[in-house]
């Protein structure tokens, strides 16, 4: 397994939630961790909390900002060993109630943000013939549910993009991995579910961000292609694809409680 000491790890959406937890654990393992986020106040708090000096304001919707920050990191370290595309958000609404700008923002951040950051970092990885891109998608990208059609589509796009990119890079030493977690106990739901109804209904199923971060770092070390969390999700995904009608009748009702 790979030793992460002195490796350069670039994390998007690192000011709160899973991104922040990843940063905390990576620092303990001696990695040169780069924090990026678009909220200045939250990013500053994350910098203080982790003790990480390398922090940059970054909106993954801006190709210019991404290029500028990536250039600064390359100038300082000469490389980026790991890119963790973690920035993302959710909006849980029925399609009929969503505004088009909400749908477009979901795709712009959750999917195109991944593409923009990947395209900015990938040339440097290919030049060294070394690197690892880890995309944080979601179980929702494999199993869609009510009030999450647009969110699920954005995460499904991330999974498809990752699989295609991996095929393109199969003859290189640049790896692509996807993390598909279920609901994580983070501030994600403050915007996605302001009523608190969904959180209340799936509280028993909520993942600990520390454990998700641990599993993500484990994949960084062993270069596994994909992981679905919790492990129970693997069974659900297989049932969904093999027996979609039965799954929807028996299990789907538990997912559609947003």
Q: Where are the beta strands (DSSP E) in the chain?
A: 8-11, 32-37, 55-57, 82-85, 131-136, 174-181, 226-229
Percentage of residues in the chain having pLDDT higher than 90: 79
- Residue 198 annotated in active site: no
pLDDT band at 250 (very low <50, low <70, confident <90, very high): low
More confident residue, 74 or 203: 74
- Say how far apart CA 68 and CA 184 lie, in whole Å: 31
Confidence of residue 54 (pLDDT cuts 50, 70, 90): very high
3-state secondary structure of 219: helix
Average pLDDT, the chain: 92
Q: Which of 44, 27, 138, 122 is nearest to 82 (CA)?
A: 122
Three-state DSSP class for 16?
coil
Domains and CATH numbers, the chain: 8-255 (3.40.50.720)
**Which CA distances in Å does 96 have to 10, 150, 190, 195, 198?**
37, 11, 22, 19, 19
pLDDT of residue 240: 67
The residue with greater pLDDT, 24 or 197, is: 24
Q: Does residue 251 register a pLDDT over 70?
A: no
For residue 201, the model assigns a pLDDT of 73
Q: Which entry of 151, 175, 214, 241 is annotated as an active-site residue?
A: 151
């Amino acid at each position: 397994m790979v030793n992460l000491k002195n490796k350069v790890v670039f994390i998007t959406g690192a000011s709160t939630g899973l991104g922040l937890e990843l940063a905390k654990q990576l620092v303990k393992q001696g990695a040169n961790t780069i924090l990026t986020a678009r909220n200045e106040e939250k990013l500053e708090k994350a910098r203080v909390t982790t003790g990480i000096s390398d922090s940059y304001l970054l909106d993954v919707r801006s190709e210019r900002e991404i290029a500028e920050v990536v250039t600064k990191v390359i100038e300082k370290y000469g490389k980026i060993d790991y890119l963790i595309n973690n920035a993302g958000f959710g909006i849980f609404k029925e399609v009929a109630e969503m505004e088009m700008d909400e749908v477009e923002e979901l795709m712009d951040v959750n999917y195109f943000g991944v593409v923009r950051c990947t395209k900015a970092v990938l040339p440097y990885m290919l030049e060294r013939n070394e690197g690892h891109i880890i995309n944080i998608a979601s179980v929702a990208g494999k199993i869609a549910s009510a009030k999450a059609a647009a969110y699920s589509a954005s995460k499904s796009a991330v999974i498809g993009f990752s699989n295609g990119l991996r095929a393109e890079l199969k003859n290189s030493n640049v790896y692509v991995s996807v993390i598909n977690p279920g609901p994580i106990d983070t501030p994600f739901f403050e915007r996605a579910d302001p009523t608190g109804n969904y959180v209340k209904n799936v509280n028993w199923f909520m993942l600990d961000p520390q454990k998700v971060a641990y599993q993500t770092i484990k994949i960084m070390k062993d270069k596994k292609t994909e992981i679905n969390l919790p492990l129970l999700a693997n069974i659900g995904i297989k049932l969904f694809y093999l027996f979609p009608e039965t799954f929807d009748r028996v299990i789907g009702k538990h997912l559609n409680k947003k």
